[in-house]
Structure 1
Amino acid sequence: MREVFPQLRRLLAAGEPCAVATVFRTEGSAPRPAGASLVVTGDGAVVGSVSGGCVESAVYELCRQALEDGRARTERFGADDDPFAVALTCGGTLDVLVRVVTGAADDPLRRAVRAEADGRAVVVATVVGPAGSALLGRGLVVGGAGAEGTTGDADLDDAVVRGAGEVLGAGDDARVLRLGAAGPRGGAVEVLVEPVAPPPRMLLFGAVEPVAALTRLGRFLGYRVTVCDARAVFATPERFPDADEVVVRWPVEYLRTTAVDERTVVCVLTHDERFDVPLLEEALRGPAGYVGALGSRRTHRERVDRLLARGVSPVQLGRLFGPVGLDLGARSPEETAVSIVAELIAHRNGGSGAPLRSTDGPIHRSGQRGGRPAAVGAHPRPAVGCGR
C-alpha cells in the first residue's frame, strides 16, 4: 500500500477523485502479495500494480466503475475453466478490494496518508467480506493514540481495534482478520488490516564507492537512507546525492543515538577496524534486522576474533552477514551493491538466494520475513568483490 502513497498524497492535496484496488488475499502462486495496490485517477491515469499485468485491465475497469457509482466492491481472479474468464497466468488466485478515496477528512486512506507523512505507525482496517455486505469498504484507522473512523457497527469497531492493535508494530504484511458475529447482522466478518509505517531505515557506514550505489538501490527499495562517516572531506551530500541524509560523526556514536528497530538495515563498509569493530559490536547487540560488513575473508576472520574478544556472543555473531553479499562475481561498486541488496532481499523474505531454475515450489510466495542467518561458521559465504 505504501508504494502508492506519494501519488495518493498528491491526488488528495489536489482534491482529485481516485479509486484504489488492493490485493487482500492470495492462494497458490500469485505475482503480488496481499497489500499490493493500484490507483486509478478520475481522468483515467494508473499508478501501481496488483498482478504484474495479467489482470490489470479487469481491475482498471472495476476502478472506473467504482469512480462512477461510488461503491466499494471485491473480485476474485484465478485459474478458471472458462477460456474467456480473466485469470492469472501463474495459476494462483487473488482477491481484490476496490474502494473510492474521497476528499472527506474522515476517509481512512486520507487519514493513513497523513499519518505516514507525520511519521506515525497506524493500521488501516477495511471490511472486505462477506461479499455484498452493506459495510463493504467501510473502515477505520488504528494507531498508538487510538482509533479514528468507524465501520458503521460499534461491536465490530471494538473487535477491529483489538485485532489491529495486535498487528500494529508486528510487521508490514497485510492480512485478513476473520472476526466473529458483530451487531444484529450476525455471521463472520472479514477485515483487511494494512500496517502503514514510516519507511524503514538503511544505515550505511563508510563514505566509499559501493555506498553511493547502495544509496540509490536503498531508495529504490523504499528505505530512508543515511550515510555516516567521521571524515568530513568524504562524507558530503555531493558525493551521495541519493542519500536522505549524510552525517559526519564517529560511526558508533551515531549508531548509539539514532533510532534503530527490527526493520533497520545496518551495513558497515568502513574498511577500518577502529570504526567497524565497535560499530558491529553495537549493531549486533541491538535490534537491527540485518547487519552486514564488507571485507575480505581474512579481514572477516580477524573481525570475528576481535568481536569475540570484546564479549560478543556466538549467537549475536550469528546475526552478522559477512563477508556481506551473494556470490554474483561482483567487481564494480555497482555490482557489489547489487550483491548486498540481493542478500538483504533474500533474508527479509525468507528466500534461499539460489537460482530459480534449481529450486522447486512456487516462485511467488508469501514467505516469512526476517529470518535469521545460521550461526557463524555454519555455512561458508562466497566472496563478493573488494579483493575477497
Structure 2
Amino acid sequence: MSGELAGAAWPMFGWIDDVRAPLADAMRQGRPAALATLYKVEGSAPRGPGAQMLFVDPQDGGGEIAASGYFSGDCIEGDVASHALHVLSDGVPRRLHYGTGSPWIDIRLRCGGALHVLVERVAPDDAAARELLGHAEARRSCRWHSDGTNRRVTQDDGPLLDVYEEPFSLARRHDPVRRLIVSGGDPGALAAARLGALSQFETILLRPDGPFEPPPFPVSRYVRSDPATALAELGMDRWTAYLGATHEDHHDLGGCLAALRGGAGYVGMIGAKSRAPARLDALKAAGATPEDLARLNLSPGVAGLGKSPWEVATGILAEIMQALNPARERA
C-alpha cells in the first residue's frame, strides 16, 4: 500500500498537540482515522508517554496521508504513517517499537532510548470516539480505554496514562482544551489574544461595546459584552485563564472576581503596580476572600522581557502555560 506523509517537508502538523479537533473533522467527513498513542518511553525523547498522533485516510488508496501531532522530531513519524495506512486498510491494530531493541534497526532515534506506539483504527461512527468528543464539548475530563480493538470512555480524573501489559491495554486521560479569555482592545490585549490562539489555546476575546466587526486575526469567539456577564455565560474551570486588560476597573475588576469565584486556573490583570493596592481594596469590598486574592496575578508576566506588546504578551502566556500545566500533567 502506497502513500506519503502530507507536509513532511514542512511538518507543521507537529504543532497540533490535541488530536480531538482533527478527529472531529474526520468523523464529520465520514473518514476513518488511525490514532497513534506513545505509550512507553525508554531513555530520552522529545515527547512523553501519552503523546498522540492522528492519521486520516487519504481515501484514494495512494495519496498523501494527513497527520496531526508528532513523537520524535522526524525520526519515526514517516514510518508510523506507513503503519497507519495499513491499520486504516485492514483494521488490525499495531504495536510499534522503535530504538533500542527494535526489529527495525534501520530506523535510528537521534536521542537514543526506545519508543513504543499503539496504532488503532477509529471508524467515523465509533461510539467511544463520539463520547470522547462529547466530553470535550462539555469541558469534562475523561479517559480513553483501548486495547487497539475494543474501546470505551469513562468520565474520571485519573493519571494522564495507565498502561496494562497482560492483556495489553491503555487508558489515556483527556482534559478540556486550554482556554484563554482576554478582555480588552489595546495592542497589548490583542497581542495576548493572538499569541494565545497561535499557541493552541481556545481563545476568546472580550471587548465591551467594541467594534461590530471581529478582530483581524483568528480567535475562537469574539464577544462584545461586559466581562463579568460574559464569564458567567461561558463558565469557568481550572483549564481556563482570564486576563483583564481593558484598563477600566469597572470591567477588569468584575471580570477578575467572576474568574476567581468560578475557579479559573489563572487570573491576571494588566496595570501599573501603583494601582494594585486600590484594586485589591476594591475587590475585598466586592467580596473577594483572602484565598481569592492570593490567586490573583497583578502586573502579570515575566520580568525583563521588555514592554512592547509582544514582549509583554509572551511573558504573560509563559506564566499562563506554567499555571495551567499541572492540570494537564498531574499524576
Q: TM-score, normalised by structure 1?
A: 0.67
Note if 1:46 corresponds to 2:66.
yes
Work out which of the residue numbers 151, 156, 164 in structure 2 matches 1:166.
156
Aligned AA (1:115)? G
DSSP-derived class of the 1:214 partner: helix
* Cα distance per residue 1:213-268 (max 9 Å; x no partner): 222222233333222233x2x35433354233222223223333431111111111
* Cα distance per residue 1:260-289 (max 9 Å; x no partner): 111111111121222223332332233101
Work out which of the residue numbers 288, 308, 317 in structure 2 matches 1:341.
317
Verify the 8 A CA contact 2:238 2:324 in the aligned structure 1: no
How do 1:187-198 and structure 2 match up within 5 A?
188-196=166-174
DSSP-derived class of the 1:303 partner: helix
Q: Distance in 2 between matches of 1:117 and 1:283?
A: 21
Q: Judging changes above 3 Å, is the alpha-carbon distance between structure 1 residues 8 and 310 closer, same or farther for their aligned structure 2 residues?
A: closer
DSSP-derived class of the 1:329 partner: coil
Q: Judging changes above 3 Å, is the alpha-carbon distance between structure 1 residues 332 and 118 closer, same or farther for their aligned structure 2 residues?
A: same
Q: Distance in 1 between matches of 2:324 and 2:95?
A: 30
Note if 1:35 corresponds to 2:54.
no
Q: Judging changes above 3 Å, is the alpha-carbon distance between structure 1 residues 23 and 254 closer, same or farther for their aligned structure 2 residues?
A: same
* Cα distance per residue 1:71-129 (max 9 Å; x no partner): 101123344699945343334443211112334x34643x25753685474532111xx
How do 1:303-382 and structure 2 match up within 5 A?
303-308=279-284, 310-349=286-325, 368=330
Q: Judging changes above 3 Å, is the alpha-carbon distance between structure 1 residues 53 and 207 closer, same or farther for their aligned structure 2 residues?
A: same
Note if 1:218 corresponds to 2:196.
yes
Q: Distance in 2 between matches of 1:279 and 1:346?
A: 21
Q: Distance in 2 between matches of 1:92 and 1:292?
A: 41
Query: Percent identity over the alignment?
Result: 27
Aligned AA (1:245)? R
Work out which of the residue numbers 245, 259, 275 in structure 1 matches 2:221.
245
Q: Distance in 2 between matches of 1:328 and 1:123?
A: 40
The Cα RMSD (Å) is: 3.4
Aligned AA (1:67)? L
Verify the 8 A CA contact 2:143 2:156 in the aligned structure 1: no
Verify the 8 A CA contact 1:79 1:93 in the aligned structure 2: yes
Task: Please report how far the alpha carbon of residue 204 of structure 1 lies from its aligned counterpart in structure 2 after TM superposition.
Answer: 1.3
Q: Which residue of 1 aligns with 2:88?
A: 67
Q: Distance in 2 between matches of 1:38 and 1:21?
A: 6
Note if 1:139 corresponds to 2:153.
no
Q: Distance in 1 between matches of 2:104 and 2:83?
A: 20
* Cα distance per residue 1:18-45 (max 9 Å; x no partner): 4232212334432123132141534332
Tell me which structure has the larger Cα radius of gyration. 1
Work out which of the residue numbers 107, 119, 124 in structure 2 matches 1:98.
119
Q: Distance in 2 between matches of 1:264 and 1:165?
A: 19
Verify the 8 A CA contact 1:292 1:324 in the aligned structure 2: yes
Aligned AA (1:343)? E
Q: Distance in 2 between matches of 1:307 and 1:26?
A: 47
Q: Which residue of 2 aligns with 1:291?
A: 267
Verify the 8 A CA contact 2:179 2:201 in the aligned structure 1: yes
Verify the 8 A CA contact 2:161 2:173 in the aligned structure 1: no
Q: Which structure 1 residue ranges, 5 or more long, are not aligned?
A: 128-136, 143-163, 179-186, 351-365, 370-388
Task: Please report how far the alpha carbon of residue 319 of structure 1 lies from its aligned counterpart in structure 2 after TM superposition.
Answer: 1.3
Task: Please report how far the alpha carbon of residue 308 of structure 1 lies from its aligned counterpart in structure 2 after TM superposition.
Answer: 4.2
Q: Judging changes above 3 Å, is the alpha-carbon distance between structure 1 residues 85 and 115 closer, same or farther for their aligned structure 2 residues?
A: same
Q: Distance in 1 between matches of 2:46 and 2:93?
A: 23
DSSP-derived class of the 2:312 partner: helix
Q: TM-score, normalised by structure 2?
A: 0.78
Note if 1:277 corresponds to 2:253.
yes
Note if 1:126 corresponds to 2:146.
yes
Q: List 4+ stretches of structure 1 deviating above 6 A.
A: none
Task: Please report how far the alpha carbon of residue 47 of structure 1 lies from its aligned counterpart in structure 2 after TM superposition.
Answer: 1.2
Q: Which residue of 1 aligns with 2:19?
A: 4
Verify the 8 A CA contact 1:199 1:224 in the aligned structure 2: yes
Work out which of the residue numbers 182, 185, 189 in structure 2 matches 1:207.
185
Q: Which structure 2 residue ranges, 5 or more long, are not aligned?
A: 1-15
